[in-house]
Amino acid sequence: MPGKFLVASKKRATINLLTQALEAERHRVVTASNDCTIIDAALDHKPHAIFLGVTLQGTNGIQVARALRALAPAANIPIIFLAENREEAKQVTRAHIPIAECLTAPFDLAEVRTHAWAALQTGKHIAAVRPVRAENDWMLAILDPLTRLYHRRYLLHRLAYEAKRAARYRTALAVLLVDVDNLHTINRAHGILTGDSVLIEMGQLLLGMAQQAEIIGRADRQDFMIIAPQTNADSAHALAERVRATIGKHHFVLEKLDLHVTVSVGVAANTRGDVADHLALLGRAEIALARAKRRGKNRVEVG
């Protein structure tokens, strides 16, 4: 089914080129050239995706993208940046805008059409699995902008808290690191938007498998961390195997893509110990995860 796209660039030639390519596929195209008209068009027309120049008239496309991500109606719209050169492409990479990817000039029309169809399909799925919520400033400060799970800094803060509590009450504590084995392959084959959708959906799967006391967040680009209080080594290993098996059976993004996603899991647990022992769990889990990757991936290793 044809979609609706917003094309924004400071270059009229770029707007005309992309408009021609998209309309040839029967898509509807809305155009804009500066920050105010882009934001207004995104809110008024609700496009399925936005092709956004990195440099715009009197502003920067990255700042516009950040503004769009802060507005609930535009928070889940895929953004495809249009970089005029490698330096602009590097700016996009460094910006870490969620649900975004980048094309670099000269723009290939076949590639534009391919990314448009991928954004159309993936965007619908992202909107379904990443509901827009009205978070306050305090919540935004501790959440990963893509998955809406806790980010690494907050996870380390919670690990320190749980380490102190486990040492004081002499209870067990476990840490699991869940790494997506084939995220780079998915990004290359289907685009970064599809890879982002996999991460969003995987975060929701992990939340669904977690007990109320477990803390789940995004530890790195393709890693998730689970902090499991009062969980011994056997229970942590069982949880890790359940995570690995559940993700391995799940159809991600769109079933017709038949994305086979697997994870490797590094596990570390203490039944008792002092604060330093519990804090060392993260390092042990990282070593176990590295061993799982070396031994063929799609497996659980205990450190």
Tens digits of per-residue pLDDT, 289-303? Answer: 999 999 999 999 998
Q: Give pLDDT tens digits for 146-169.
A: 888 999 999 999 899 899 989 999
In 24-85, which residue ranges form alpha helices assigned H by DSSP?
A: 35-45, 61-70
Give the mean pLDDT of the chain.
89
SS3 77: coil
Structural domain includes residue 198:
yes
pLDDT band per the 50, 70, 90 thresholds, residue 53: very high
Shared domain for 179 and 79, answered yes or no, is no
**pTM for the predicted model, two decimal places:** 0.74
Domains identified in the chain, total number:
2
Residues 61 and 181 occupy one common structural domain: no
Q: Answer yes or no: do 202 and 122 share one domain.
A: no
Opening angle at CA 147, ends 142 and 153, nearest 5: 30
Say what the pLDDT of residue 137 is.
56
Structural domain including 231 reads: 152-302
- Is 80 exceeded by the pLDDT of residue 34? no
18 inside domain: yes
Do 94 and 26 share a structural domain? yes
195 shares its domain with 267: yes
> What is the CATH number for 70?
3.40.50.2300
- Give the residues across from 76 on adjacent strands: none
Burial class of residue 164 in the structure, from the number of CB atoms within 10 Å of its CB (0-12 exposed, 13-18 middle, 19+ buried) = middle
Q: What is the pLDDT of residue 59?
A: 77
Within a domain: residue 116? yes
Domain boundary among 95, 129, 163: 129
Confidence band, pLDDT 50/70/90 cuts, at residue 203: very high
Residues 157 and 288 in one domain: yes
One domain, residues 42 and 78: yes
147 part of a folded domain: no
Which residue reads 């391995």 in tokens?
Answer: 248
Q: How far are the Cα atoms of 34, 83, 176, 267 from residue 236, in angstroms, in the given order?
A: 52, 45, 8, 7
In a domain, 139, yes or no: no
Whether 78 and 184 map to the same domain: the answer is no
pLDDT at 259: 80
Q: Are residues 161 and 248 in the same domain?
A: yes
Q: Which amino acid is at 116?
A: A
pLDDT value at residue 139: 62
Q: DSSP labels for 109-155?
A: HHHHHHHHHHHHHHHHHHHHHS------HHHHTTB-TTT-SB-HHHH
What confidence score (pLDDT) does residue 178 get?
97
Regarding whether 172 and 30 lie in a shared domain, the answer is no
Residue 203 placed within a domain: yes
